[in-house]
Amino acid sequence: MGKHLVLVGGGHAHLTCLKELKVFIERGHEVTLIGPASHHYYSGMGPGMLGGTYRPQEIRFNILKMAQAAGARFLQGVVVEVRPGEKRLVLASGEEVPYDVVSFNTGSGIPTHDLPIAPDANVFTVKPIEQLLKAQKFIRDRLTKKMHHILLAGGGPAGLEITGNLVRLASDLGGRAEITLVAGRRLMGDFPDKVRSLALASLTERGVKVIEGTRLREVQTNVAVLQDGRMLPFDMIFLALGVRPSPLFNDSGLPTGPDGGLLVNEFLQSVAHPEIFGGGDCIYFQPQPLDKVGVYAVRQNPILLHNLQAALENRVMWRFKPQGAYLLIFNLGNGRAIFRRKQLVFDGPLAFKLKDYIDRRFMQKFQISGELEEA
């Protein structure tokens, strides 16, 4: 007799499952996909979309059509509670969804609850990617020849890529934008000095003011207050303050890691509830901490596909074995990028072309026919 598999989120770690949903359905199982929207945007191409390199439809997956094409149910909504004792999910709408096996790929968000923010401030977080769409429209509607102050807080990869692509967007629109990046301790401080120096040179040469050694303390209506007391005026502000999983798992009483991510074992399975799985940024991998990078979510795809089938049918599971070194390429927004793998670091057009090729190939693998022609 078939069972009910529920997939929560259509992110990177679930894409192979979505592409192969017929595998579950042909074996008699019912499948429900729950997502906040019909499309899921690929974060790796988000900064490029903001800068105008990519159209929105080029960086998104139509998870609604992927589910429907296979005969699965798509339910638009947000899960706000997991009741493992009842094997039941509660949505924000109040609807309850039972499951036999459930897998979470709900990603991560920008934590803002500890930061005082004026309710009328023009604040945009860099995740979810839909926020970048709203920010781009905001800039297009307001940026003129008049000086426009854009502030960004966060000196990691997201801060670097968003800032570089903001420079491109402002330039392409013919406006004059004064862009300031508050980079925290140091711009790209967790990376080798060569990465940092290339990133700093790229931004400063294009007129970006980079402030290091301090962080954002408070966001007032049109002024940002830094920890060192400085006050910076802005017309809009981006927050790229690191990412954290949703509080869903903590709020539901499930075992979590120190970051609040669902605590999973080597099979990507909850350490307390064997019918609960997860992948991507929303999990904490018990065997070893993993960086919040898309490469791990992509590598978890075949493991989740196999292990969800195994859980439904009482078969042997596969172990997820994280790779050691991995490739990172940072899009600088000007047709150039910074390449980093192990000790090899360089920048230039070739690095961007490589990133563009890898990203487009990844998108094509999971793209629904006709999606790129949609408006």
DSSP 114-143: TS-B-TTS-EEES-STHHHHHHHHHHHHH-
The predicted model scores a pTM of 0.92
Average pLDDT over residues 80-101: 97
Q: What is the pLDDT of residue 370?
A: 54
Angstrom distance (rounded) from CA 278 to CA 265: 10
User: Mind listing the pLDDT tens digit for each residue in 149-207?
Assistant: 999 999 999 999 999 999 999 999 887 889 999 999 999 999 999 999 999 999 999 99
The Cα angle at residue 61 between residues 339 and 248, in degrees rounded to 5: 90
Angstrom distance (rounded) from CA 303 to CA 67: 20
Angstrom distance (rounded) from CA 243 to CA 192: 21
Tokens at 291, concatenated: 């960086």
The three-class DSSP label of residue 348 is strand
For tokens 């408070």, name the residue. 218
The full set of domains in the chain, from first to last, is 4-36+77-109+243-313 (3.50.50.60), 123-242+328-371 (3.50.50.60)
- Mean pLDDT over each residue of the chain, to the nearest integer: 93
Q: What is the pLDDT of residue 176?
A: 80
Q: What is the pLDDT of residue 147?
A: 67
Per-residue pLDDT band at 369 (split at 50, 70, 90): low
User: Mind listing the pLDDT tens digit for each residue in 13-48?
Assistant: 999 999 999 999 999 999 999 999 999 999 999 999
Average pLDDT over residues 286-294: 90
Q: Is the pLDDT of residue 373 over 50?
A: no
Q: What is the pLDDT of residue 5?
A: 98
User: Mind listing the pLDDT tens digit for each residue in 102-120?
Assistant: 999 998 888 887 899 999 9
